[in-house]
Structure 1
Amino acid sequence: MANKHGLGRGLGALLAAPNTKYLQELSVDSISPNPQQPRKDFNIKTLNELSESVRKSGVLQPVIVRKVGLGYELVVGERRWRAAKIAGLEKIPAVVREVSDKESIEIALVENLLREDLNPIEEAEAYRKLLTDFGWVQEELAQHVGKDRSSIANYIRLLKLPEVIQ
């Protein structure tokens, strides 16, 4: 089954879509976090380390944002954006993309899943969100993210554990 948006062909296929605009320097304060960001916990120690690197060398890889109202919303790069704020930067390099709510969620979830540093519950929640939002069955999701169906099923089962165990 072909996917015109690029999911299943890797993050590069999603991010290299033809609706990419040019690189811009945006005010850090004009950008807001994506409320659908799958990462819920940000390690303050590693964030401070990243902010120190940003303070010394700047932001080396632009964030990806989309225009929302009078400002911008992050699609990819919340750790870099947070580090830039901590470092006191006023501007951050950004690529502005024209993407729908659904595409923004898709890109954010897949980008985080491919990095493999979500905790198991965050990964399970990301899988559940993709299943729900895109109406996929576990087999389709497994194909899109390059995992076997049983791995997806096991992650989803984690969400049935009592909250205190999660």
Structure 2
Amino acid sequence: MAKGGLGKGLDALLPQAQSEAGFSPAAVAKSALSEKRAGQPQSASGLKNTSSPAANGTDIFVSVDLLQPNPHQPRREFDEEALKELAESIKEHGIIQPVLVEKAEGDSYYIIAGERRTRAARIAGLTEIPVRIQKFSDTKKLEVALIENIQREDLNPLEEAKAYYKLMELGNLNQEETARRVGKNRSTVANALRLLKLPENMQKALSAGTLSAGHARAILSVNDSTSRTKLFNRIIDDGISVREAEELAAEMNKGKISLSKKTVKTADKRDADYIFLEQNLIEKLGTKVSLKGNFERGSITIDYFSREDLDRLYNIFFAE
């Protein structure tokens, strides 16, 4: 089966990002630990400050007040608790890898990759942090920020979908080219982009986490907008599973159910881990998947709803 993970990371996009100036995360961590053991004040990253001009490719320390968010940052929501945890880690170990920035007007810089680290550094009380200066096109700014967030799984499904769309728009790319840029399968990008077809209220629920991507795809599989709204309300009101939502969607398309009255919800008596496995398969494949049996023996049924859907599934399993 084709892997859904990234085929490249920031190092592939920025081959000089750690080689110049003798920088490596391991060396920085060792330096920071040595300073701590020696009872010396620990710098923001363990790197020595530099008075070198702020040239392209240079590592320097910059005031956090001079760092501005990437105008093409795909992420709009930051978990405050996660930032506090990262801030505690920064207090203890410093910033292991410089924040990637681009020169802006005056003395300021745009954050290209590392906004979470910058926010956490502010919470930790740091006034200066290490940065690496690079120059990017608008397309590359978005691409780098998108890859960093995807690698850390920091984007909600809607943010990821909007980022793919923006990358396609800025770079004049098709889905295949976009997927290649960020190291994803084309089907992953295609599935994400489908979420942008949801009406605004459903997109807000997706961003808030009250609606999962699997639920959203079940809603999108319903033929008419009125039935989609009914299914959405049922998901929110009753908290039904993705599998139940998919079954209801299929019944609605056949005209066998209207959801004008609540249907009886039957309890799923299968092993919780088995249900979890089924949910993961649904999320990964982006379609209805049914597991029957147990961990020792059973069957898997994978549904498709169009020729395009069948081609997409084929590529997931057999694309090299």
Count of aligned pairs? 159
CA contact (8 A) 2:57 2:132 kept: yes
Matched, 1:45 2:81: yes
1:122 is matched with: 159
- Closer, same or farther: CA 66–159 of 1 in aligned 2, 3 Å: same
Identify which of structures 1 and 2 has the higher relative contact order when contacts are C-alpha pairs closer than 8 Å and 6+ apart: 1
1:110 corresponds to which letter in structure 2? I
CA contact (8 A) 1:64 1:74 kept: yes
Distance in structure 2 (CA, Å) of the matches to 1:136 and 1:109: 15
Matched, 1:76 2:75: no
1:16 corresponds to which letter in structure 2? P
2:175 is matched with: 138
CA contact (8 A) 2:84 2:120 kept: yes
CA contact (8 A) 2:72 2:138 kept: no
Distance in structure 1 (CA, Å) of the matches to 2:160 and 2:140: 18
| SS of equivalent residue, structure 2 residue 101 | strand
- For residue 87 of structure 1, the aligned residue among 124, 134, 137 is 124
Correspondence 1:47-62 to 2 at 5 A: 47-62=83-98
Distance in structure 1 (CA, Å) of the matches to 2:85 and 2:8: 32
CA deviation profile, 1:21-41 (whole Å, cap 9, x unmatched): 121111111111112111111
Q: Hey, which bits of structure 1, 4+ residues long, moved more than 4 A? A: 17-20
Distance in structure 1 (CA, Å) of the matches to 2:184 and 2:57: 32
Distance in structure 1 (CA, Å) of the matches to 2:84 and 2:140: 30
Unaligned runs of 5+ in 2: 1-6, 18-54, 204-320
Let me know the Cα RMSD of the aligned residues: 1.9
CA contact (8 A) 2:102 2:134 kept: yes
Q: TM-score, normalised by structure 2?
A: 0.47
**Bigger Cα displacement from structure 2, 110-119 vs 75-84:** 110-119
Distance in structure 1 (CA, Å) of the matches to 2:188 and 2:63: 41
1:13 is matched with: 12
Offset of residue 20 of structure 1: 5.2
- Point out the structure with max Rg over C-alpha: 2
Sequence identity (%)? 50
CA contact (8 A) 2:87 2:121 kept: yes
| SS of equivalent residue, structure 1 residue 93 | strand
CA contact (8 A) 2:61 2:128 kept: yes
- Closer, same or farther: CA 48–9 of 1 in aligned 2, 3 Å: closer
Offset of residue 17 of structure 1: 4.8
Distance in structure 1 (CA, Å) of the matches to 2:78 and 2:8: 28
Q: TM-score, normalised by structure 1?
A: 0.86
CA deviation profile, 1:67-124 (whole Å, cap 9, x unmatched): 0111111000000000111111110011111223332222112222333331111111
- For residue 70 of structure 2, the aligned residue among 18, 34, 37 is 34
Distance in structure 1 (CA, Å) of the matches to 2:138 and 2:164: 17
